[in-house]
Amino acid sequence: MPLDTGGLSDFHFRADGESSSVSAENFAPGVNSGRDIGAALRAVREFQNLSLEDVAEATRIRGAYLLAIETMQLEKLPSRPFTIGYIRAYARALGLNGDAAVDRFRAETPAPEDGLRAPVGVSHEGDPRLAAIAVGAALTIGAIVLWNVAQRAISDDAPPAPAARTAAAPVITASGPVALGAPLPAPVESTIPTPYETPGLAAAVDGSADAAIAAKAAADAAAPTAPQAPLPAYFSPQGQVYGAAAAESRITLQALKPAALIIKGADGSVYFARQLAKGEAYRAPTLGGLTADVSDPTAFQVFVAGESHGRLPAAQTNLGKLETKPAA
């Protein structure tokens, strides 16, 4: 609330039996009054018997911002530059020095960009141990460099190594010369292997790739083939038998080794498809137009009514043509 002066312009004091008068203006609050700049501005405003609305109208600043400045609730104010501008305008509206008000605000609420005052009694001298560590590191690096230079100089001044002795040169020992034997042959691992030569390449007259391929094919054809094991004369189940029942089938395909078998109808529909293991078999139903599609024709033996008809003649075979037994 406004300070009540009681309508008196002077205060009378008595000292040594004499009276003196002091003007009330000497006790008017200023920028340095109160516990902070906000309290100082509020004291001056109340001393001048002004309300927040009066100051807000004069400065065009919201009354809520002026109240936040007086109570130093900075979190309710805009950014720091705006707050500083508001404090300067508030102080000037009260007839105070705006720059002095801003300086007090910055001193009481320093920001990182304003810089903090150095604390009293704290020295900014560097740690002497860091200088000692730096000197020690420099001496260590210098010693390493000098040691490497000395080693290089010693190696350059050293006499050359003696030449390798030959097999015939004797070795001189305390008991006399000793003759050395002949050098050992190189180990087998270090010998050069015989270069690979493509079969038939030397027989090619013109040395062309086509001639070499033809010569290799001729050599492969002339090479003896391993005889195949004789096929059993009659069907004997040696594994799982798939397909139709024995009474409803005449043709049976048995795998001599692992291979793929696909049975298709005349319209392309698939009746059977499986990777058969050795010994497994498939009984084809008595239907016309069935075709066997296999990965390896030599991997399947054909049985008609239980009797062997040899191996499949081709990778794709019409099962109806297997009824005829091939010539021996």
Report the amino acid identity of residue 163: A
Under the banding of pLDDT at 50, 70 and 90, the label for residue 111 is confident
Q: Which residue has the higher pLDDT, 175 or 76?
A: 76
Q: What is the mean pLDDT of residues 113-127?
A: 56
Least confident piece of the model among 81-85, 98-102, 137-141, 202-206? 202-206
Residue pair 312/259 in contact (Cβ under 8 Å)? The answer is no
Under the banding of pLDDT at 50, 70 and 90, the label for residue 186 is low
**Burial grade of 214 (CB within 10 A; 0-12, 13-18, 19 or more):** middle
Dig out the tokens for 252 from the structure.
Answer: 């049976």
Q: Would the pTM count as exceeding 0.75?
A: no
Q: What is the mean pLDDT of residues 281-290?
A: 89
Buried b (16+ CB within 10 A) or exposed e, 95-122: ebebeebbebbbeeeeeeeeeeeeeeee
Torsion angles phi and psi, residue 121, rounded to 5: 85, 5
pLDDT of residue 320: 84
Residue pair 29/45 in contact (Cβ under 8 Å)? The answer is no
Q: What does the alpha-carbon distance between residue 277 and residue 240 come to, in Å, rounded to a whole number?
A: 9
pLDDT of residue 12: 43
pLDDT of residue 8: 40
Under the banding of pLDDT at 50, 70 and 90, the label for residue 19 is very low
Q: Where would I find the beta strands (DSSP E) of the chain?
A: 10-15, 18-23, 171-173, 176-178, 241-243, 249-255, 259-264, 270-276, 281-285, 291-294, 300-304, 307-311, 316-318
Q: What does the alpha-carbon distance between residue 97 and residue 30 come to, in Å, rounded to a whole number?
A: 9
pLDDT of residue 22: 45
Placement of tokens 């109340």 in the chain? 46
Residue pair 261/271 in contact (Cβ under 8 Å)? The answer is no
1-112 adopts what CATH topology?
Answer: 434 Repressor (Amino-terminal Domain) (1.10.260)
Q: What does the alpha-carbon distance between residue 219 and residue 35 come to, in Å, rounded to a whole number?
A: 113
Residue pair 69/90 in contact (Cβ under 8 Å)? The answer is yes
Q: Do the strands 176-178 and 281-285 form a parallel or antiparallel pair, or are they unpaired?
A: unpaired
- Report whether pLDDT(267) > 80: yes
Residue spans of the domains in the chain: they are 1-112, 241-323
- Report whether pLDDT(209) > 70: no
Q: What does the alpha-carbon distance between residue 278 and residue 232 come to, in Å, rounded to a whole number?
A: 14
Q: What is the mean pLDDT of residues 286-299?
A: 89
**Neighbouring C-beta atoms of residue 37, cutoff 10 Å:** 27
